[in-house]
Amino acid sequence: MNKDILKSIREYKKESIMAPLLVTVEVFLEVLIPARMADIIDVGILGDGGVGYVIKAGLFLIFLALLSLFFGVSAGAAAAKASAGLAKNLRHDIFYKIQEFSFKNIDKFSSSSLVTRMTTDITNVQMAFMMTIRMLVRAPIMIVMSVIMTVMINKTVALILICAIPVLGGTLMFIGKKAHPHFQKVFDEYDVLNNDVQENVNAARVVKAYVREDHEIGKFHNISKRVYDLFSKAEKIVAWNSPVMQFTIYTVILCIVMIGGKSIVYGNMEVGELTSIIVYSLQILSSLMIVSFVFVMNMISEASVDRINEVLKEVPEMTDKENAIKTVKNGDIDFENVDFSYGGEGNTLALTNINLHIKSGQTVGIFGGTGSAKSTLVQLIPRLYDVTHGSVKVGGVDVRDYELTALRDQVSMVLQKNVLFTGTIYDNIRWGDEDADDDEVKRVCELAQADSFIKDFPKGYETMIVEGGNNVSGGQKQRLCIARALLKKPKILILDDSTSAVDTKTDALIRKAFREEIPDTTKIIISQRVSSIEDADMIIVLDEGRINGMGTSEELLKTNDIYREVYESQVKGGAEDAE
Ligand SMILES: Nc1ncnc2c1ncn2[C@@H]1O[C@H](COP(=O)(O)OP(=O)(O)O)[C@@H](O)[C@H]1O
Ligand SMILES: [Mg+2]
């Protein structure tokens, strides 16, 4: 088992050590039992011990068995607690780590692979750990003790066992090694399967709207068949374990009985002794079987351990500097010679040579076709990503010099793909600031033009939002998200296409409220709709990651082709009224 993973045992160290110790006691007691049985047969029944001896020895035997049972159960409980505890801590660690991730870190892992890591992979590790601390101690002790007991009874017979152990052990290991790569493939395919199921369930409405159920079923069937095939292949190899085991056991027992029988005839061995030797050999062989099983389980879990470690070892890309600045002076924004690439240095640039100066309190529109890097540009302001070259400043200070939470508290952003959480509307809004009172919640909802429709719901602010916010309309969801962002009372508010589903009249009301109620807040509005940004103090036109034009709507109409073309098609063509 991997050292890094074992660090997560923490408060379950006691149980992790107790389990193997208890198992050791259990095995010592268990090994004594066949020898006692031999005595009952040889002395009590065949010898002259009589019924009294049989009863006395029998009671002792029961006592031994009960004691061994007690230790066995305790060991099982300790191992279960330790392994479940390890799993709990690992899950906690991964979750904690994910919370530290920057957008760049998140880009690296798919969400379904993170879910698989927190479920299937951790369960594998839990199983492997439990078996290791119970079985991997039990089996070797059992083998050694049983061999010693056999040697004490009959050296020739013991020799047969000693020869059989490496042969059987070797074969079982060989089978395990053969099966391992197949199991590894199974887990990779599991990822694909989970991804597919998650995507399908998340997009259930889209699938239905496009009547693509059959296609989706077909896709699922294929993946599921691949998992089945790979599993069958792996299991087919492992299935050899049992016949190999049976064959060896019966061969060994046959030899023992033959040699033992002769010894009894010649008077070198007692009947009971032969019985106990047979029991010892069964114990040895089944221990070997267990070792090979744990071995396979450990190999399977190795793939899981690697996948868990991948998350735990991911270095959070953004951390606070020492003496990071905690207060944002104002809502000034400056971009100085900014280049940005999602892939980092040397990859294609999403933004090229951006220079911008936005004054605190200004309203700035950002305009451009899809893929022109509008979202990319604004994501640099709350430092969701770090620039590749140049610098972004907020309140005159490089964003990298701020404490991350301080910066993001002052730069509130409504993401293009926004989500609401399961819970009441009230809770969802307050998620922006948990200390806000009812009046503040109501005020931001009024600002975002959400108050009126919330009040129309029978339960008002206590209306439950279902997962993903599917029980409110697109425009209502957008307004709730804006209200949530406003609650933070930010110095900079960024709306990334956040009113696309809101009708133009309401959209205008939202902008009016912004102008009147939060005049000191810098407002950055991304929109494909000219009317949403027309009255901004400055409009930035983006094209393929470069600034194509900058100025008021009036200026741009004279100087910028991209802006003029869209303006004419939307305003003059009356496309707006049709919306
Ligand atoms: N997380 C990401 N990882 C890699 N590339 C991305 C990511 N997000 C956006 N891009 C790329 O960056 C470019 C600009 O995207 P974006 O800023 O979303 O455009 P817009 O918001 O103007 O539609 C696109 O070519 C897009 O493919
Ligand atoms: Mg966008």
| Listed ranges 378-387, 432-441, 565-574; the one with the highest mean pLDDT | 378-387
pLDDT above 80 (res 184): no
In a domain, 187, yes or no: yes
Q: How many Å apart are CA 64 and CA 57, to the nearest integer?
A: 10
Please check whether residues 114 and 24 belong to one and the same domain: yes
Cα–ligand 2 centroid distance for 571 (angstroms): 22
User: Which residue, of 280, 312, 344, is where some domain finishes?
Assistant: 312
Cα–ligand 1 centroid distance for 478 (angstroms): 21
CA-nearest of 187, 202, 179 to 122 is 187
Nearest ligand 1 atom to the CA of 107 is 1
**Mean pLDDT to the nearest integer, 288-307:** 83
Decide if 97 contacts 311 (C-beta within 8 A): yes
Please check whether residues 379 and 276 belong to one and the same domain: no
Q: Which two tokens stand for residue 350?
A: 């999403």
Q: What is the pLDDT of residues 521-564, one digit of tens each?
A: 999 999 989 999 999 999 999 999 999 999 999 999 999 999 99
Q: How many Å apart are CA 512 and CA 152, to the nearest integer?
A: 96
Q: What is the pLDDT of residues 22-35, one digit of tens each?
A: 999 999 999 999 88
Ligand 1 pocket, CB under 6 A: 107, 342, 350, 368, 370-376
Residue 577: the pLDDT is: 47
In a domain, 39, yes or no: yes
Please check whether residues 287 and 367 belong to one and the same domain: no
Residues near ligand 2 ion, CB 5 Å cutoff? 375, 416
Furthest CA-CA distance within the chain: 120
Decide if 460 contacts 413 (C-beta within 8 A): no
Please check whether residues 382 and 304 belong to one and the same domain: no
**Mean pLDDT to the nearest integer, 156-168:** 86
Q: What is the pLDDT of residues 409-457, one digit of tens each?
A: 999 999 888 889 999 999 999 988 888 999 999 999 999 999 999 999 9
User: Which residue, of 278, 312, 346, is where some domain finishes?
Assistant: 312
- Residue tagged 């059992």 (tokens): 142
Q: How many Å apart are CA 136 and CA 293, to the nearest integer?
A: 10
Query: For 244-262, what is the HEC assignment?
Result: HHHHHHHHHHHHHHHHHHH
**Mean pLDDT to the nearest integer, 103-124:** 87
* Ligand that lies nearest to the alpha carbon of residue 107, given by its number in the listed order: 1
Classify residue 541 by burial, with Cβ atoms within 10 Å: 0-12, 13-18, 19+.
Answer: buried
pLDDT, greater one: 556 or 470: 556
CATH number for 50: 1.20.1560.10
Cα–ligand 1 centroid distance for 291 (angstroms): 52
Cα–ligand 2 centroid distance for 377 (angstroms): 9
Residue 575: the pLDDT is: 47
* Ligand that lies nearest to the alpha carbon of residue 546, given by its number in the listed order: 1
CA-nearest of 566, 439, 568, 452 to 503 is 452
User: Which residue, of 265, 282, 312, is where some domain finishes?
Assistant: 312
In a domain, 185, yes or no: yes
Domain count, the chain: 2
Classify residue 294 by burial, with Cβ atoms within 10 Å: 0-12, 13-18, 19+.
Answer: buried
Cα 391 to the center of its chain, rounded Å = 34
Residue 164: the pLDDT is: 85
Which residues are within 8 A (CB) of 573 and not within 5 positions of it... i.e. 6 or more apart? Answer: none
> Domain range holding 107?
3-312
Distances in whole angstroms, Cα of residue 438 to Cα of each of 463, 472, 485, 487, 563:
15, 21, 16, 11, 42
Please check whether residues 132 and 271 belong to one and the same domain: yes
Decide if 339 contacts 392 (C-beta within 8 A): no
Please check whether residues 287 and 337 belong to one and the same domain: no
pLDDT above 50 (res 99): yes
In a domain, 205, yes or no: yes
pLDDT, greater one: 537 or 4: 537
Query: For 122-137, what is the HEC assignment?
Result: HHHHHHHHHHHHHHHH
In a domain, 434, yes or no: no
Of 375, 496, 546, 548, which is best to mutate to test ligand 1, by the most ligand atoms within 8 angstroms of its C-beta?
A: 375
Which residues are within 8 A (CB) of 372 and not within 5 positions of it... i.e. 6 or more apart? Answer: 542, 543, 544, 545
Decide if 68 contacts 60 (C-beta within 8 A): no
Please check whether residues 307 and 392 belong to one and the same domain: no
- On average, the pLDDT of the chain sits at 90
Please check whether residues 404 and 353 belong to one and the same domain: yes
pLDDT above 90 (res 172): no
Q: How many Å apart are CA 377 and CA 355, to the nearest integer?
A: 11
Residue 1: the pLDDT is: 67
Residue 576: the pLDDT is: 47
Percent of the chain with pLDDT over 90: 57
In a domain, 525, yes or no: yes
CATH number for 338: 3.40.50.300
Please check whether residues 350 and 308 belong to one and the same domain: no
Please check whether residues 16 and 88 belong to one and the same domain: yes
pLDDT above 80 (res 468): no
Of 376, 417, 497, 528, which is best to mutate to test ligand 1, by the most ligand atoms within 8 angstroms of its C-beta?
A: 376
Please check whether residues 305 and 382 belong to one and the same domain: no
Cα–ligand 1 centroid distance for 373 (angstroms): 6
Please check whether residues 238 and 362 belong to one and the same domain: no
Q: Where are the alpha helices (DSSP H) in 154-212?
A: 155-202, 204-209
pLDDT grade for 579, boundaries at 50, 70 and 90? very low
In a domain, 449, yes or no: no
Of 338, 342, 366, 498, which is best to mutate to test ligand 1, by the most ligand atoms within 8 angstroms of its C-beta?
A: 342
